[in-house]
Chains A and B, each alone.
Chain A
Amino acid sequence: MIICTALCLALIPTYKVNAAEAYVTFGSTSYTPTEGKEFKIGVYVKCMDGVGASSITVGYDPNCLEYVGGGSGYDRENGLVFITDDIGNGANSKKFMLIFKARSASFSEIHAVANFVYTYDFPDVVMEDGTVIPCADPVECTITGSAVAPINIQGVAPKPEEKPEEKPEEKPEEKPEEIVEEVVEETPEEAETVDVIPEDESLEEEVPVVIVPEEDEVVSETVEQMDTIEPDTFVEANSLYFIDGENEPVQERTLDESLILMMILVGSGLALLFLLWLSRDEFKARKKEAKLYVDALEDPNYEEDTNEEFIIELPDELNETQAEESLYEHNEEYEYPEEVLQANDAVAYEEEDLHIINMDEKLPVDDRERVISVKDVTMEFHLSTYNPSGLKDYLIQMVKRNISYRRLYALYHVSFDIYKGEVVGIIGTNGSGKSTLLKIVSGALRPTSGSVTVDRKKVQLLTLGTGFDMELTARENVYLNGSIIGYSRDFIDKHYDDIVKFAELEDFMEEKVKNFSSGMVSRLGFAIATAGDAAEILILDEVLSVGDEFFRKKSLARIKEMIHGGSTVLIVSHSMGTILENCTKCVWIEKGELRMVGDPKEVCDAYRHMEEAENAVGA
């Protein structure tokens, strides 16, 4: 059995009242080397105030171990290795590595004897070329913690016949009660005697050792003199069966700390379980709700109910014509019988009796308040003609100057004016710059050149399904969206019920929006954007052509209401029906250029012609 026992001893000089603690410990409390192999033992000098000059002598059993290297001096006969370091590093610990070779399978003790550690604050003690620089003050030495720090660990293959003179069996009987006398150092001028009293097994007490300077207050120490220390006393002082390598106070603190840590871990674990258990009930309840909601959706009665509401709210005549109209719209988008269109117009004119309806371009401009003025707006985008596949590629191409940009005019010198109370339809094929125009008008984009005069505070942009957070409930979304588009909290509080009622989502406001159908989402979006009479300029981007037709009628009614109230509306739509039916003016933009502004009917006709012509060419 190889048992290497580590024995640590620390002598710490203290400066005046400074209770500097210093330790010498080994990297591990035991080593189990393989026979004939070299192994390393870490010797650590630790001092809270920073390690200064230090001197350590390590004793070992020369019968079992062979010193290989790592120290600054050795005495193989007596089994001593000397480590001297006269600078230190000022850090909390300094490490020295000793290399030993295991001679035979046996046990041995390694112990540190006669250690001197100076705190870094003592520049006086640092040796220079072997000369002794005296320390100005008397030095007190204290042993803190346990002077003896051994441990036993079972090693590899036990070979009883090769046991050295020290037998492990004997050790436990020998209680380390001996008093060790140690001459720490002797200099010609002065000498200090240190009485080291290794504690008993309990390891509980710190043993203070006082070095009494014999002559005067000045103590000087040289590292070389450390050789005089007799290690034998320490060999006897060790005990195999001391179990702890740490000194007591440190151990107590860690114990305390890890106890708290464990308690926190267990505590939060319990809290976690409890909360999970609580939330499971909540979760169940939520699921139930969701189920109810699905039922409601699938329930045909529910649908019918809402339909009736619609019908009640809308004037009969309007309802009929619009229902008819939307039927056409569903079947054949662009081919309305002339009569229907005319009837539509007539109905609209009679029903709404809007003062703006008959206003056209021929009226003197001064009569009306200009709310939006788009002047010579050009929007230019840079599109790179080459798409690099990554940064590396990009850099290579940049170096090669392969990257060029293509200019794309999303809008090219577009100008028109919109007057208060107008309902303006904007048409054009996909990618012709309609959305860009809306973004510029609403202030989200700045044009490359030209100017747009509009009071941006009054503009309300409504696009489909944007800005809703699917993970939030409808109520939260109302507040979030409302705040973004500029409603104050008070305003939303006041109009909340109206919004819900208009969107017909009374029963679903606490539901997450991700469970909504797209129609429900757009209803809510429309309801928020048109809440109260907040919007003076309303921009609708493809909003009116979605949702069920009942809601569409309702929203048209709302828009007409707003026009009554003096709002100006911009509608972007691909549905000619919507444009023809609602607008008083139409703007046609094609490939960034303004094609036509004027009466909706004329513009729509022209637009349809172009499309037909293109289709013909395509065919």
Chain B
Amino acid sequence: MKGRFSDILQYVFVIRELTSREIKRKYARSSLGIIWSVLNPLLMMVVMSLIFSTMFKRSIENFPIYYLTGQTIWGLFSGATNSAMTALVDNKSLLIKAKLPKHTFILSRVYTALVNFGYTCIAYVLMLFIFRIKFTLTMLLFPVGILFALIFSIGMGYLLATEYVFFADIKYLYGIFLTLLMYMSAIFYPVDNLPEMVQKVVNMNPVYLQILFARECVMYGHVPETWVWIRLSIWSIASVVVGMIVFKIQENKIMQTI
């Protein structure tokens, strides 16, 4: 029992070390460092709002917050999956040494994205105050939405990291897929304006659902509808299960290939 506990401690320690490595590395050459995690979404928000807020003035109330909610969650998902994809290959040399389960490296990349998201949230909360979004109890559901996003990202991360070992081209394919997914996530436009068919597809998009979840509970003060909960749960669980299975099956082959 005690051994198990210390194992878990070690696990946490490794993930934290790896994460702090990632973050330091990411901003190693910039002078502002981690502050970019706060500034970047803010500046993006300003740019996007200047361009699009007049276009969607009638249909989107409070465009900057609408966009920022979408962007932060999108950032979490795309950051987590994109970096988790290369987690195994990048850490080749550590992987051979490590006695820990190999998926620690994937988890650490997702955790890095979460830490980044935490910094982005500073900007987000600040904007909520500036744009005078009233506090509602439903805002407490926001972390639940993030949890859905996180679980989904972990599953996708497992899948991508495994496939990337065998098929490096997936990086480029995934880049294109991400672009498609981004435009299907209604980050900066209202869904209502889309044709009905497209709306149906968008409503199936897990990332859009996560964004919708967050918007509902932060901007509009609603508890998200049941179908949103159901679809999000299905997506998250399915992604984790598929990811884990693929990873487990290929685990030994990964080490051989790397």
Residues on A lying within 8 angstroms of B by beta carbon are 46, 48, 91-93, 250, 254, 257-258, 260-261, 264-265, 268, 271-272, 275-276, 279-280, 282-283, 381, 390-391, 439, 442-446, 456-457, 459, 461, 463, 466-467, 469, 471-472, 476, 479-480, 483-486, 488-489
A48 and B21 within 8 A (CB): no
Find chain A residues with CB under 8 A from B10 CB: 483, 486, 488
B96 and A466 within 8 A (CB): yes
Given the interface contacts A91-B193, A260-B131, does A484 sit within 8 Å of B256 by beta carbon? no
Interface size on B, residues (CB 8 A): 47
Find chain A residues with CB under 8 A from B130 CB: 260, 264
Given the interface contacts A260-B131, A442-B96, A489-B13, does A480 sit within 8 Å of B42 by beta carbon? no
Interface residues in B15-35 (C-beta closer than 8 Å to A):
17-18, 20-21, 24-25, 28, 31-32, 35
Given the interface contacts A257-B53, A480-B21, does A92 sit within 8 Å of B58 by beta carbon? yes
A250 and B94 within 8 A (CB): no
Tell me the minimal C-beta distance from A517 to chain B in angstroms.
Answer: 19
CA distance A486 to B94 in the complex (A): 12
Given the interface contacts A48-B58, A476-B24, A480-B21, does A275 sit within 8 Å of B32 by beta carbon? yes
B43 and A488 within 8 A (CB): no
B46 and A265 within 8 A (CB): yes
A272 and B58 within 8 A (CB): no
Find chain B residues with CB under 8 A from A472 CB: 21, 24-25
A469 and B35 within 8 A (CB): no
B13 and A488 within 8 A (CB): yes
Given the interface contacts A250-B57, A381-B256, does A443 sit within 8 Å of B99 by beta carbon? yes
Interchain residue pairs with CB less than 8 A apart (15): A91-B193, A92-B58, A260-B64, A261-B64, A268-B43, A268-B46, A276-B32, A442-B96, A444-B97, A445-B255, A461-B96, A476-B21, A483-B14, A484-B17, A485-B99
A257 and B49 within 8 A (CB): yes
A488 and B53 within 8 A (CB): no
B53 and A275 within 8 A (CB): no
Number of A-B contacts (CB under 8 A): 125
Given the interface contacts A268-B39, A471-B25, A488-B9, does A261 sit within 8 Å of B49 by beta carbon? yes
Interface residues in B37-55 (C-beta closer than 8 Å to A):
39, 42-43, 45-46, 49-50, 53-54
Residue of A nearest to B40 (CB): A268
A466 and B42 within 8 A (CB): no
Tell me whether B95 is interfacial, beta carbon within 8 Å.
yes
Find chain A residues with CB under 8 A from B6 CB: 488
Interface residues in B241-258 (C-beta closer than 8 Å to A):
252, 255-256
Find chain B residues with CB under 8 A from A446 CB: 252, 255
Find chain B residues with CB under 8 A from A466 CB: 93-94, 96-97
Find chain A residues with CB under 8 A from B93 CB: 463, 466-467
Residue of B nearest to A446 (CB): B252
Given the interface contacts A268-B43, A471-B25, does A484 sit within 8 Å of B31 by beta carbon? no
Main secondary structure of the interface of A (DSSP, over half): helix
Tell me the minimal C-beta distance from A553 to chain B in angstroms.
Answer: 25
Find chain B residues with CB under 8 A from A471 CB: 24-25, 28
Find chain A residues with CB under 8 A from B97 CB: 442, 444, 461, 463, 466-467, 484-485
Find chain B residues with CB under 8 A from A445 CB: 252, 255-256
Tell me whether B136 is interfacial, beta carbon within 8 Å.
no
Most buried by B among A46, A381, A466: A466
CA distance A90 to B127 in the complex (A): 32
Interface residues in B71-104 (C-beta closer than 8 Å to A):
93-100
Contacts beyond the supplied A257-B64, A258-B49, A390-B169: 11 A-B pairs with Cβ under 8 Å: A91-B193, A257-B53, A257-B63, A272-B39, A444-B95, A444-B97, A466-B94, A466-B96, A466-B97, A467-B94, A488-B9
B59 and A92 within 8 A (CB): yes
Tell me the minimal C-beta distance from B215 to chain A in angstroms.
Answer: 17
Tell me whether B225 is interfacial, beta carbon within 8 Å.
no
Tell me the minimal C-beta distance from A298 to chain B in angstroms.
Answer: 25
A483 and B252 within 8 A (CB): no
CA distance A619 to B46 in the complex (A): 73
CA distance A466 to B100 in the complex (A): 17
A469 and B21 within 8 A (CB): yes
CA distance A74 to B25 in the complex (A): 69
Most buried by B among A250, A444, A472: A444
A254 and B53 within 8 A (CB): yes
CA distance A479 to B10 in the complex (A): 12
Tell me the minimal C-beta distance from B164 to chain A in angstroms.
Answer: 14
Find chain A residues with CB under 8 A from B43 CB: 265, 268
A483 and B17 within 8 A (CB): yes
CA distance A265 to B130 in the complex (A): 13
Residue of A nearest to B31 (CB): A279
CA distance A449 to B73 in the complex (A): 46
Residue of B nearest to A459 (CB): B99
CA distance A257 to B64 in the complex (A): 8
B99 and A283 within 8 A (CB): no
Find chain B residues with CB under 8 A from A381 CB: 256
Among B13, B20, B31, B62, the residue within 8 A (CB) of A275 is B31
Given the interface contacts A484-B98, A488-B13, A489-B13, does A261 sit within 8 Å of B42 by beta carbon? no
Tell me the minimal C-beta distance from A406 to chain B in angstroms.
Answer: 15
Tell me the minimal C-beta distance from A135 to chain B in angstroms.
Answer: 25
